[in-house]
């Protein structure tokens, strides 16, 4: 999979893309992530990528020219399956959407900044808009990193233990059961005995019960969906 990320503040992206699971997936060429500095596409001599909103109002709006030029030049090289714009005024991202995105070959993520981006970019270029939650951040870079992390960890060969991604919270519509590691006694705090019983069926049933319990307590909305689907 290839992911092109367009940003006016590419410095914000370096840490998350270079380390841990995403960093390793890039090094082992399981994913090709290319960051484009939007300012280098601006025809303005100072590299300006934003301007005042028509009709007045606070904040600056990202201008169409650098974005259109950048995306035009990418499209000359290859076809894109999706051009994604993270924005709070969009459907909220969930695991089902992330799973679907992992099936795509080439995607662009366009990070907005300032007050927003010129609507013509959204109308003409963007094919998918996603919010990472009902709150507002100062730009699309962190949401873009959340999208990338969610996608890349599911790509074939990225997570060593093939099972572990399937066990994630949300993959079956429920939150995960609690997990424990060594030592079995830490400051007098023990672990549920079933986990050291060696009885895999009992462990599976315990995890299922805990997942249901946790989901019912903290996400009654998910719990209701799960029960209704059964």
Q: What are phi and psi of 2, to 5 degrees?
A: -120, 135
Q: Closest CB to ligand ADE among 145 and 177?
A: 145
Q: Closest CB to ligand ADE among 86 and 150?
A: 86
Q: Closest CB to ligand ADE among 66 and 86?
A: 86
- 150 touches ligand ADE (CB under 6 A): no
Q: Site mask, ligand ADE, residues 123-142, x = CB under 6 A?
A: --------xxx-xxx--x--
Cβ neighbour number for residue 3 with a 10 Å cutoff = 24
Q: How far is the CB of 87 from ligand ADE (least distance, A)?
A: 5
Question: What are the start-end ranges of the E strands in the chain?
Answer: 2-7, 32-37, 50-51, 61-62, 82-86, 106-110, 116-117, 128-130
CA distance 7 to 23: 19
Q: Which residue shows structure tokens 């007045």?
A: 56
Q: What are phi and psi of 85, to 5 degrees?
A: -120, 110
CA distance 147 to 154: 11
- 87 touches ligand ADE (CB under 6 A): yes
Q: How far is the CB of 49 from ligand ADE (least distance, A)?
A: 16
- 54 touches ligand ADE (CB under 6 A): no
Which chain residues interact with ligand ADE by CB under 6 A?
Answer: 86-88, 131-133, 135-137, 140, 143
């Amino acid at each position: 999979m290839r992911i092109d990320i367009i940003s006016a503040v590419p410095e914000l992206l370096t840490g998350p893309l270079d380390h841990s699971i995403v960093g390793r997936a890039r090094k082992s060429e399981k994913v090709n992530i290319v960051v484009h500095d939007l300012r280098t596409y601006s025809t303005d001599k100072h590299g300006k990528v934003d301007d005042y909103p028509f009709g007045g109002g606070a904040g600056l709006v990202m201008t169409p020219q650098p974005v259109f030029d950048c995306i035009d030049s990418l499209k000359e090289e290859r076809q894109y399956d999706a051009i994604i714009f993270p924005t709070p005024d969009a459907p909220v991202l969930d695991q089902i959407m992330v799973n679907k995105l992992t099936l795509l070959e080439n995607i662009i993520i366009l990070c907005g900044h300032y007050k927003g981006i010129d609507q013509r970019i959204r109308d003409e270029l963007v094919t998918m808009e996603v919010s990472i939650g009902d709150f507002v951040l100062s730009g699309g870079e962190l949401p873009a990193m959340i999208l990338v992390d969610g996608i890349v960890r599911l790509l074939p060969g990225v997570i060593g233990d093939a099972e572990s991604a399937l066990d994630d919270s949300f993959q079956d519509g429920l939150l995960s059961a609690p997990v424990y590691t060594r030592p079995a006694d830490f400051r007098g705090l023990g672990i549920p005995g079933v986990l050291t019983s060696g009885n895999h069926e009992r462990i599976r049933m315990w995890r299922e019960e805990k997942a249901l319990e946790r989901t019912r307590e903290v996400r009654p909305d998910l719990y209701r969906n799960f029960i209704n689907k059964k």
